[in-house]
Chains A and B, each alone.
Chain A
Amino acid sequence: MAAESSDSEEEDLVSYGSALQPLQEGERIKKPVPLQEQTVKDAKGRYQRFHGAFTGGFSAGYFNTVGTKEGWTPSAFVSSRQKRAGKTVLGPEDFMDEEDLSEFGIAPKDITTTDDFASKAKDRIKEKARQIAGVVAPIPGTTAFDDLIGPSKITVGVELLRKMGWKEGQGIGPRVKRKPRRQQPDPTVKIYGCALPPGLSEGSEDEEDEYQPENVTFAPKDVMPVDLTPKENVHGLGYKGLDPSQALFGASGREHLNLFTGGSEETSNLLGDLRHSKGRKLGITGQAFGVGALEEEDDDIYATDTLSKYDTVLKDEEPGDGLYGWTAPKQYESKKRPEREFKYIGKVLPGFSLASKPSAPIKIYPPPSLPRNYRPVHYFRPVITAGNESCHLQKALEESTGKLESDPTQQGRHALNAAQRREQLGETELKGPAPSVLEYLSEKDRERLKEVKQASEQQMKAKIVSQQSANSRFQVASPEEAAHKWQMLLGGQLANAGSSDFKPFAKNPEKQKRYENFVKSLKQGEKGERLERFFDQNMTEWERGREQEEFFRAAMFYRSSNSTLASRFTRAKYEDDVDKVEVPRDQENDIDDKETAVKMKMFGKLTRDNFEWHPDKLLCKRFNVRDPYPDSSIVGLPKVKRDKYSVFNFLTVPEPTTSVTQATNEKIQESNSLNKPKKSSRWDVSDKEKEKKDSISEFISLARSKADVQQQPPVPAKEECGAGTTETPPTVVADEDKNQEEESGRPPMDLFKAIFVSSSDEKSSSSEEESDEEQQPTTSERQSETTKQVDIADCSSSNLQENVTASTDSGISSLPTSKQELDATEEFGPKLPPAFSSGTTWQQQTEVPATFPGPSRKEKHRKTRERHKTKKERKRKKEKKKKHKKQKNKGKHKNKKAEKDSSSDTTDSSDSLSDTDTTGLSPKELLRRLKQLQY
């Protein structure tokens, strides 16, 4: 078996049945015999019929006759004169076919070992069971004889067990370490005189434990199976015949009356240890067989039992647990002693200890006793018409119990207030000012009064209602029961019953609230008692019951209507309340920048994407490769949850290449200064559009690049880098011609158009905005920090504008340089995790500003820009007019925004403005933000 299972390759191949004979070339396939022509023959070639074979019949004899074709032939007459002693009585076998007597027939003649003979002598458990059965049997002790005749054959199971090291008398299971158990002095038992030494007071087995070394394990104790034999005899309930094991030594601690061993307790005590062998000992022992010469039991043989030993009164519990007889499992016994109840037999988990005190029993409140004149007959409530009843009363009633109707005439007059009485008497309402006292009261007091009034009213009503219930108008099931019932009814579908849109008790807000709570808790599957607390505490039990019923019904109603609707719809693919979808975590980069890389034949880092990929376990096995991710359950590319409705699930905007794309973008921008739209990646867009925000995200990448630089030696500059090195910082560029930047920074227009449909130009501009705003989160989705930082930048940038000083300039300069470095390094260096890895990067950043004077930088930037413009002009010829237009719009909009934002000069050139926005931060400020970021 083991060998088979180890051969994993083989186990996948399963072949069923026998293979068909391979066909010879040119051989035709034999036609199968049609069903109607198929015949069944028995072993002797006789045709057989399935005479009602599928309804339980069977074929007998020759076509359901007996024996021969001629049918049943009577046996020949034989004169009985000579053969008187011959067989005259025919058994059923005489009318049976041979096959019925065969092994599988209905009366097999073969010799087989029956269960009675299957090695019961060796099977301890069975033996015990038999022992039990034997005693219960009408003639006790008969099975004892059977045991003597047990065959020596051992069943396979026993044999197997033995081979595994099992021995008779042991239990089955892993070997256990047995701690020497010290007898704990029972606190309730007082010991007079001198106590036995602890070892002696325990049983013999425990004594053995005394000598046990530490590292010795024991087989588990054999377990006595619980006897679950049905009662088959006609003895009285609980009648126990002679108990052979109990007869002499077996009357263990139990005090109950034993008919035959009435006073044998003392003697058995005297016999001491012998008692403990009770379980294993079997034999013909018992008083019915007399007492041996060595046993001093003689005086008890003819013991007369007195009536005083019998129970004459039915008590709720029998003393001495005679209820289950001596076959009772041990649990019953031990339950009798409360302090034993909490003795836990099994192992206690590490870190846990047994409770010293029992948990308080659950208090059960009995249901109210039915009134004497209760009639279990239901009659229907009279329908109340609003007209013939005081509206006040009705309202009050509805308040308390919803639609509970109560006959006003049945109410005592004390229950009515003045208005009601007036109404009943037909008096007219008092006219005139009659200012209410309430008006003289303060707001607070009024409310308090109201509360008190309501409470008293409630109580009143409660009284009334309880009286009514006493009149047995309605039968109210106990709330628990009801809740259970309804819960069963509603089942899991109740989960749909939301309180949000279905308000059955909208008129009564309090009740509605209670209802909502109720439904909520019901959804969580709470039981009746817990549900109770949602009901008004002032209400009576009865009222509560009513209301509960009502709520259930309401919930049910809502559910059913809901479900009918639901049947028309299919389940949503994604859960509605979860607005996230699983999308591949890593996606291949935008190919735009790759295309350029390919054009420049810069294969390698630029064109390569590496992903974590999880091969299937089986695939690894088949390839003879160790599973690289043995612990993961993922197959394929790992997925992450994303916003379901985000456009950017469908755009691939991977994080790590940001800087690279930025570099290219910058170039693009520069070339773009002639206001020529161009094709660009989405990335540029988002970068440029939110300049302020950009500053921060840039910062991050900058920091990363720093780390990169530290980690990696500088790489020979490639074409791109060469272009990038002289580049102006993107932000500076951005200022001058915002329009272009925005153009450049936008994702393909068509996409957004398709998504945010807008026909008019005006709308389009706004929609673009939307899209832009949407884009921000996605671009930064990869690094949550980025987004955070953006936010920070957002709010802080406006505030910090005033702070712009000389330091800002230096700050600016620091950015571009590091950016360049970044450009150069990011392409070749390994990707760093988005988080800042070291504090050194910060230091560097803060240090850098001092080295570069600002203004000169700027000039330089402009120059370079000019250069690039001309250079890249050619590239940008494939512009789209439409796009261009929109970008213009966009630009306007942006400008406006900028104006708003800037608290300082609005007339200032956008240049300086954005300068301040993006990079106008003192090193300290930056540091602070970075720190913020970290946390």
Chain B
Amino acid sequence: MAFPKPRPARAELPRQRVQSLQCGQGAVRAARFNADGNYCLTCGSDKTLKLWNPHKGTALRTYQGHGYEVLDAAGSFDNSQICSGGADKAVALWDVTTGQVVRKYRGHAGKVNCVQFNEESTIIVSGSIDSSVRCWDCRSRRPDPVQVLDEAKDGISSVKLSAHEILTGSVDGRVRRYDLRAGQLCSDYLGSPVTSVCFSKDGQCVLAASLDSTLRLLDKDTGELLGEYTGHRSTTYRLDCVLNELDTHVGCASEDGRVYFWDLLECRRRHKE
């Protein structure tokens, strides 16, 4: 693994607010931790991207260069670069220290909903409302994507990467997993628009949140349903879902302004924050 060792996670679920940041960016479209969890990025609707030290609550840098709302961002494993995607249909690669746009990839025909670095931060994978996932090369100066994954029939809402897989969730109600190693595309139909997908830490399962207010835990290999988590409300917005560090709990944002946690195995709702 190229990632630095993540900080040991707390065993229990987060219960109280540690810090709140006044971003001043208008609506915050996304907030992302960096690879080691020491910094975080907030994507504002005022076209800016901000880097924070969330533990101290200090703003470290503002990245300006997007032409419209920034919708998602991700940090590279070595914290040297940031990629972000915005409503200006562009994917930007930032240098963290200088705050300059290193490269801008244009090619999407619509808002870029989600961006991810691959493990070595050599590829940016972006999913867009134009129903395509594009893989951009950070190493060369190619203006066009390395590959376009246009199998989705509707917008891409979420993209996640593992060492050799690209996981996409699409509004057409499917979770697609592109396995580079096996040369295979697995498409799971969930029935309702998928808002967020993520891998479990053990890489065996896939968690998908969809607009029928349900989280589903699927077996990665067979596509079988392992668990279903309901109780929150998610019918309109693109809200994220997560698995915790030890794969013991499932978390998801809800449209009632809370974050819900479920026990992974028992599928019981545990906490509302």
Contact = CB atoms under 8 A, between A and B. Distances in A.
A599 interface: yes
A72 interface: no
A594 B188 CA distance: 10
Nearest to A587: B151
A607 B189 contact: yes
A618 B98 CA distance: 29
Given A625-B164, A628-B182, A637 B137 contact: no
Nearest to A13: B139
A902 to B, nearest CB: 42
A618 B225 CA distance: 34
A594 to B, nearest CB: 4
Interface centre among A595, A619, A636 (most CB of B within 10 A): A619
Contact of B180 (A13, A611, A620): A620
B147 A619 contact: yes
A22 B186 contact: no
Interface in A1-29: 9, 12-14, 22
A286 to B, nearest CB: 65
Interface stretch (B30-38, B56-64, B216-224, B256-264): B216-224
B111 interface: no
B179 to A, nearest CB: 8
Nearest to B139: A12
B190 A616 contact: no
B80 interface: no
B228 interface: yes
Contacts of B122: 622
Interface string B127-164: 00000000101011100001111110100000000011
B190 A598 contact: yes
Given A604-B224, A611-B184, A612-B183, A622 B190 contact: no
Nearest to B192: A598
Contacts of B173: 591
B228 A601 contact: yes
Chain B binding surface SS class: loop
A637 B185 contact: yes
Contact of A599 (B178, B191, B219): B191
B84 interface: no
A628 B183 contact: yes
Contacts of A594: 189, 191
Interface in B85-112: 98
B181 A626 contact: yes
Contacts of A618: 137, 146-147
**In this complex, which of B119, B148, B184 has the most chain A Cβ atoms within 10 angstroms of its Cβ?**
B184
Nearest to B163: A623
A637 B150 CA distance: 10
A746 to B, nearest CB: 23
A681 to B, nearest CB: 14
Given A598-B190, A598-B191, A607-B190, A612 B216 contact: no
A603 interface: yes
A38 interface: no
Interface in A149-207: none
Contacts of B119: 623-624
Contact of B185 (A613, A616, A625, A635): A613
Contacts of B123: 619, 622-623
B234 interface: no
B216 A603 contact: yes
B213 to A, nearest CB: 14
Nearest to B152: A588
B25 interface: no
Contacts of B180: 615, 619-620, 623, 625, 628
A608 interface: yes
A609 B187 contact: yes
Contacts of B223: 603-605, 607-608
Interface residues of B, number: 44
Nearest to B125: A619
Contacts of B254: none
B118 interface: yes
A623 B219 CA distance: 23
Interface in B204-218: 216, 218
B238 interface: no
Contacts, number: 123
B77 to A, nearest CB: 13
A614 B181 CA distance: 10
Contacts of B218: 603
Nearest to A632: B183
B147 A636 contact: yes
A588 B185 CA distance: 11
A619 B224 CA distance: 29
Contacts of A622: 118, 120, 122-123, 137, 139, 146
B224 A603 contact: yes
A388 to B, nearest CB: 73
B249 interface: no
B174 interface: yes
Interface string B4-43: 0000000000000000000000000000000000000000
Q: Which of A9, A14, A628 has the most CB of B within 10 A?
A: A628
Given A22-B98, A625-B164, A626-B181, A13 B135 contact: no
Contact of A612 (B181, B184, B190): B184
B91 to A, nearest CB: 15
Given A9-B139, A603-B225, A604-B223, A616 B146 contact: yes
A610 interface: yes
B80 to A, nearest CB: 15
A71 to B, nearest CB: 54
Contacts of B191: 594-595, 598-599
A615 to B, nearest CB: 5
Given A622-B122, A622-B146, A623-B119, A591 B178 contact: no
Nearest to A621: B122
B183 A613 contact: yes
A629 interface: yes
Interface string A577-611: 00000000000100100110111011111011111
Contacts of A624: 119-120, 163
A652 B180 CA distance: 25
A607 B188 contact: yes
Contacts of B228: 601
Given A603-B223, A609-B187, A616 B135 contact: yes
A610 B185 contact: yes
A872 to B, nearest CB: 20
Nearest to B148: A636
A594 B140 CA distance: 42
Contact of B186 (A12, A609, A614): A609
Given A12-B139, A591-B173, A622-B123, A615 B147 contact: yes
A173 B96 CA distance: 54
Given A603-B223, A604-B223, A616-B146, A611 B185 contact: yes
Contacts of A635: 147
A637 B151 contact: yes
B185 A619 contact: no
Interface of B: 98, 118-120, 122-123, 135, 137, 139-141, 146-151, 153, 163-164, 173-174, 178-191, 216, 218-219, 222-225, 228
Interface of A: 9, 12-14, 22, 588, 591, 594-595, 597-599, 601-605, 607-616, 618-620, 622-626, 628-629, 635-637
12 contacts: A591-B189, A607-B190, A609-B185, A612-B183, A613-B179, A615-B178, A618-B137, A619-B123, A622-B118, A622-B137, A624-B163, A636-B151
10 closest pairs, A vs B, by CB? A628-B183, A608-B223, A613-B185, A603-B225, A598-B191, A604-B224, A616-B147, A12-B140, A607-B189, A594-B189
Given A588-B151, A615-B147, 19 more contacts: A598-B191, A602-B225, A603-B218, A604-B224, A607-B188, A608-B186, A608-B187, A609-B185, A613-B179, A615-B183, A616-B146, A620-B180, A622-B118, A622-B120, A622-B137, A623-B119, A623-B163, A624-B163, A628-B180
